[in-house]
Amino acid sequence: SHGFEAGTNRLAWGPDGALYVGCMGHKSNWSWKGKKTGLQRLRLTGQAAFEFASVNATKDGFKITFTKPVDKAQLEDLSKWAVNAWTYEQTPRYGGPKIPKDDKDQVVKVSKVTASDDGMSVQLLLDDDRKPNHVYHIRSDATSKDGDKMWSNEVWYTFHNAPTK
């Protein structure tokens, strides 16, 4: 979602090979840069972007993979990671209020990070038990081995249940 002028609604490949992104906003809070609707074009450059490739729940945290390798020492630096969590009050209307209500999300302590030998993934071990139906917002300041910064350095994961394996 970083770089788009409003919320992504539709994606379509064009005859020119570009990806067209239909964006929609809302008069109150869905617009990033003051735009309510729009069409944006992404052209392939042939170079891989440095991003989170996937995030999966594990028994005691999360496994995160990247699109490019990262230096193992950098990945295992706890100061490079931040995790917050929250949930929403269930209401009969669409979109209940965020909990905690004081607008300060619950900070979740990352107690250990174990990087793969190739630098393509990490295991985040969390101090607290994850709570079902909570959103986990994970951020990292990692830089790829070839010096790229992440295009989007954050990801949101809605956690329901921990895997048993």
Name the pTM for this structure: 0.80
The per-residue pLDDT for range 114-147, each reduced to its tens digit, is 999 999 999 999 987 888 889 999 999 999 999 9
Q: And the tokens for 10?
A: 């539709």
As beta bridge partners, residue 93 has none
The per-residue pLDDT for range 20-68, each reduced to its tens digit, is 998 876 655 544 555 567 788 888 888 888 999 999 999 889 999 999 9
Of 46, 36, 40, nearest to 14 (Cα)? 40
Q: Would you call 55 helix, strand, or coil by DSSP?
A: strand
